[in-house]
Amino acid sequence: MGQWLLGWAKKEIVLIVATLLAIVSCFIVPFDAQYATYIHWTTLAQLLSLMIVVAALQRIGVFHVIASQLLKTATTSRMVIFILVCLPFFSAMLVTNDVALVTFVPFAISVLIMADKEEWAPLVVTLMTLGANMGSMLTPIGNAHNLYLKALTGISSWDMIKIMAPYSAVAFALLALCIWIGFNGNKMKAVADENDLERSVFAPSPTTEKPDEIRIMNFGGGYTGWRTWVYLALFIVCLLGVGDIIPLWLMLAIVVVVMLFCDIRVFRTIDWGLPLTFMMFFIFIGNMKRVPEFYSLAAQFVQYDPLDVSVVTSQFISNVPATLLLSGFSHQWTELIIGTNLGGMGTLIASMASLVSYRNIVAKFPHKKGRYLAIYTGLNILFLVVLLPLAHVITSLS
């Protein structure tokens, strides 16, 4: 029990801190009717709906099947790595950066092991992590904090995409350049046949022909057919809700009811800590905004340079909490959007999604931990050195 609690605390450290801050703030500002206005229900409805649908798609193995099919077209080292990096870069735009990394980093590590290229793992996983963080910042549904900022500001999805498009484009060019420099065009050892890839990547262990709960491909092919189309339809419903085309209550109701019939166990796989973290920060920020001295000091700090402050703050508490905190004391939304997204680069905790990659590296290659951290930090600093000055130039001209 003690070990379980310790493991849970390590995983949910942000939720624990947010809860403590919320509790302390409740002693400063006694409970009253205004508490009901703190929670941003629009953000929570969008977040929960997307989390449920993406978890459902994960459970039927859709993303792994797409990845394995794409790898069949690659023969050279550069092409294989390019595909492995593009998978989280583009998928994160639709399913968030943490989901992209949870899905594709273990897949990539298995591919590298089968190709006898384990020494590439630190660099490849670093590039995939950068790809996920840089791809997810383009869209409102790519990052949880983007969803929140969109709902808070009322900015359209297209306008948010236009704000972040230059940075995602430059980041993609940098990723391609890193791949070109870091890998050659020689033929890569075949990544086994489809059955070996399937068993190594999808099954819990190489000796067990049993993938996660719901069967995929040869391990019960056909079982997922109709679910794929239903879940894709639900994803479209989520896009309509985020785009303000259908009411959010209708979007959430459709998603929950359909999933109750299709796969009720999906609700067990949801990271409920994320929406709870949002709620705790909402309470803390709502209370502290009612303390004149704190509000004045925080607002003055943020207004000094919201772009740089967002990036720096993200390095210490990660970009999602930084967004929730800083948005309560500044209305320079463009700078906050850019800063909190670029703030996902830098330290290992700047984006909590990056910890997914780190845990996978440590679990599979504990002796490569130091090398991974060195490569990860170096490349993140490089990307920040390029993208942050670019952000200052663009915002000064707009």
Tokens 């870091």 correspond to 182
Query: For residues 60 and 187, what is the distance between their CA atoms, to the nearest angstrom?
Result: 32
Three-point CA angle 117, 120, 125, nearest 5°: 125
Amino acid 45 reads: A
Mean pLDDT throughout 49-54?
A: 88
Closest-CA residue to 211 (of 225, 229, 227, 223) = 223
pLDDT digits (tens, 9 = 90+) for 294-326: 877 777 777 778 899 999 888 987 888 888 888
Cβ atoms of 148 and 189 within 8 Å: the answer is: no
Amino acid at 189: K
Give residue 176's pLDDT.
Answer: 96
Confidence at residue 224, expressed as pLDDT on a 0 to 100 scale? 52
- Residue 177 identity: L
The pLDDT value given to residue 103? 81
Q: Determine the pLDDT at residue 269.
A: 83
Task: List, for residues 225-268, the tens digit of each pLDDT value.
Answer: 788 889 989 999 998 988 888 998 999 999 999 999 988 888 98
Mean pLDDT throughout 361-372? 88
Given the structure tokens 């983007």, which residue do they identify? Answer: 146
**Between 10 and 259, the higher pLDDT residue:** 259
212-221: long-range contacts at Cβ-Cβ below 8 A with a sequence spacing of 24 or more?
Answer: 212/59, 212/61, 213/59, 213/265, 214/59, 214/60, 214/61, 214/263, 216/60, 216/61, 216/64, 216/65, 217/61, 217/65, 218/194
- d(C-alpha 128, C-alpha 396), whole Å: 31
Per-residue pLDDT of 77-126, as tens digits, reads 899 899 999 999 999 998 888 888 888 888 888 888 877 888 999 999 99
Round to whole Å and give the CA distance between 330 and 38: 16
What pLDDT does 223 receive? 43
Question: Where do the structural domains in the chain lie, given as residue ranges?
Answer: 33-397
Collapsing DSSP to helix, strand or coil, 76 comes out as strand
Confidence label for 210 from pLDDT (cuts 50, 70 and 90): very low
Residue range 346-358: average pLDDT?
Answer: 86
d(CA 141, CA 91): 11
Are 84 and 155 in contact, with CB atoms under 8 Å apart?
no
b/e per residue 372-386 (b: at least 16 CB within 10 A): bbebbeebbeebbee
